[in-house]
Amino acid sequence: MKAELSTEVGEDVTASTAGGCRFCGARLEHVFVDLGMSPLCESYVSAKQLNQMEPFYPLRVYVCERCFLVQLEAYVTREQIFTEYAYFSSFSDSWLEHARAYAELMITRFGLDSQSQVLEVASNDGYLLQYFVKSGIPSIGIEPAANVARAAVERGVPTRVEFFGLESARSMAATRLSADLLVGNNVLAQVPDINDFVAGLGAALKPHGVITMEFPHLMRLVAENQFDTIYHEHFSYFSLITVEKILAAHSLTIFDVEELPTHGGSLRIYARHANDLLRPIEERLIALRTREEEAGFTRLEMYQGFAESVQETKRKLLDFLIQAKRQGRSIVGYGAPGKGNTLLNYCGIRTDFLDYTVDRNPYKQGKALPGTHIPICAPEKIRETRPDYVLILPWNLKDEIMKQNAYILEWGGRFVVPIPELRVFD
């Protein structure tokens, strides 16, 4: 216990400052990875903010030795994250296709029709529920950001403006509103009180209803070194094994799982009430659980090995950038995603290495990246300045980006991808 050895008045700064595990309450003593101090990754900096102070928060991730939930302290409130949300899901074509295919699959598999009720938590601008509405299936979204909910209502998706939890589930149940299909995509990681949220899922589900949730898979994060997908807005990082434990604590059972390519590798879990025996446990659920056990996700040592591979990735990226600059090469970024901000802040990469980055989202153009203050330009800037290297920050979209921007080869430009490990494309 380092804190007890400290002889000075005041606390030892190397001691754990975290509270209890968000799920099981055990004391958090083991660091999974420490990415230092970082600004909120969606806080893009406008020209008039450039000379002002910017808040930085620790990006130190813990693993619970009892339930193996990988987690950050909630430095930001859910109101800060959700209430004025700049990101509208419908911006991306591939994301819409993902949603359409999901709706079709659920309607067929679970026989949904005009008598069924679909509920979606964190339903955003209705990008997903619109496909159920088009098929004549009663659907209601629950979305805390009022401006985003308004966009959903405009496209015909009824939406309640509120945070989801046990209280809101109970008030819906009191009006006989409960779900045959209850959807929660990319929301579980952003819930500060995970027990209240999962209890709410149980309360909002009909006796034979099905919950599906998608979230980035911790096994992929570890295997592919995706430390840049860690940011303050994501409080929790899940293995299948840990999610099963969390749901089981609220009498919910996962009966099936799919592995998806989205967000660098996600899981889609299917859950039901524990006492609903109509749906048997599928083989592929058991198989994935076994793979996680074999990969070490129930042993603390596996989690403790991650930090070293993160540090090695930083050293390799900096090696490359330093050499390229010594040779007089110019380097720019492509994209301004949240994950880019984690990477650049952790590695200390500013305009000393990257002249600028570009992004197709007009909301981000003309602003600067949080922390590093690298300017964000429109993509045409690359053609004007003809850089030697283009560092792709949203590496999960690298194939699409390299195809769309293949013209950089005209002047001998090359693409660089930092994750899972540094790679220069010739």
Q: Can you give the binding site for Zn ion, defined by CB under 5 A?
A: 21, 23-24, 26, 64, 66-67, 69
In the complex, the smallest distance separating the C-beta of residue 273 from Zn ion, rounded to whole angstroms, is 24
Angle among Cα 402, 405, 410 to the nearest 5 degrees reads 110
End-to-end CA distance of the chain: 51
Residue number, 69 or 390, with CB nearest to Zn ion: 69
In the complex, the smallest distance separating the C-beta of residue 20 from Zn ion, rounded to whole angstroms, is 8
In the complex, the smallest distance separating the C-beta of residue 14 from Zn ion, rounded to whole angstroms, is 22
Residue number, 2 or 66, with CB nearest to Zn ion: 66
Residue number, 246 or 354, with CB nearest to Zn ion: 246
Residue number, 25 or 156, with CB nearest to Zn ion: 25
In the complex, the smallest distance separating the C-beta of residue 364 from Zn ion, rounded to whole angstroms, is 36
Cα–Cα distance between 172 and 165 in angstroms, integer?
Answer: 11
In the complex, the smallest distance separating the C-beta of residue 423 from Zn ion, rounded to whole angstroms, is 36
Question: In sequence order, which residues have a C-beta less than 8 Å from that of residue 174 and are 6 or more positions away?
Answer: none
Residue recorded with tokens 């999974």: 32
Relative to beta strand 389-392, strand 414-417 is: parallel
In this structure, the number of other CB atoms found within 10 A of the CB of residue 190 comes to 18
Yes or no: say if 178 and 140 are a contact pair by the CB < 8 Å rule. Answer: no
Q: Is 337 helix (H, G, I), strand (E, B) or coil?
A: coil
Cα–Cα distance between 126 and 51 in angstroms, integer?
Answer: 38
Q: Cα separations (Å) of 5 from 17, 334, 339, 348?
A: 16, 48, 38, 33
In the complex, the smallest distance separating the C-beta of residue 178 from Zn ion, rounded to whole angstroms, is 29
In the complex, the smallest distance separating the C-beta of residue 203 from Zn ion, rounded to whole angstroms, is 23
Relative to beta strand 139-142, strand 118-121 is: parallel
Residue number, 100 or 245, with CB nearest to Zn ion: 245
Burial of 137 (0-12, 13-18, 19+ CB in 10 A): buried
Residue recorded with tokens 């980055």: 357
In the complex, the smallest distance separating the C-beta of residue 69 from Zn ion, rounded to whole angstroms, is 5
Residue number, 28 or 33, with CB nearest to Zn ion: 28
Residue number, 64 or 391, with CB nearest to Zn ion: 64
Residue number, 66 or 134, with CB nearest to Zn ion: 66
Cα–Cα distance between 241 and 228 in angstroms, integer?
Answer: 23
Among the listed residues 168, 189, 188, 420, the one whose alpha carbon sits nearest the alpha carbon of residue 309: 420
